[in-house]
Amino acid sequence: MTKLLWLVVLASIAVRMLAGRWPWELLRENERSVEEKRARNLLGVATAANRQDIIDAHRRLITRVHPDRGGSSEAVHEANAARDLLLGRLGERGRGS
């Protein structure tokens, strides 16, 4: 058991040295990209979409899925979450550059 623990620790350090990030950070980053891809597909925007493109796509989607037009409140919540996620990522990219 101790050997396995040491192997995991050494592998984690090796990944940190090679990739510059801990293994669990790399896994979390992959999950974030999957969420972003889902949001982009839902809104129908490209990877290079700017703030206005995201807002316009959100408005178009809301007009289709709003409960007053035969949609559901769950679909509105999904659209809002996708918009918020993508706008948040735009802000992160702007600060990171």
User: What would the pLDDT profile of 33-75 be if each residue is shown by its tens digit?
Assistant: 889 999 999 999 998 999 999 999 999 999 999 999 888 999 9
The model's pLDDT over 21-33, given as tens digits with 9 standing for 90+, comes to 888 887 777 777 8
Q: How much is the pTM?
A: 0.66
Residue of 75, 33, 40 whose CA lies nearest to 54: 40
The structural domains of the chain, ordered by start, are 2-96 (1.10.287)
> What mean pLDDT comes out for the span 85-93?
84
Q: What is the C-alpha to C-alpha distance for residues 34 and 55, in angstroms, rounded to an integer?
A: 20
**Residue 97 pLDDT grade (very low, low, confident, very high; cuts 50, 70, 90):** very low
pLDDT at position 80 over 60: yes
pLDDT of residue 61: 96
Q: What do you get for the CA distance between the two ends of the chain, in Å?
A: 44
CB-based contact 43:82 (threshold 8 Å): yes
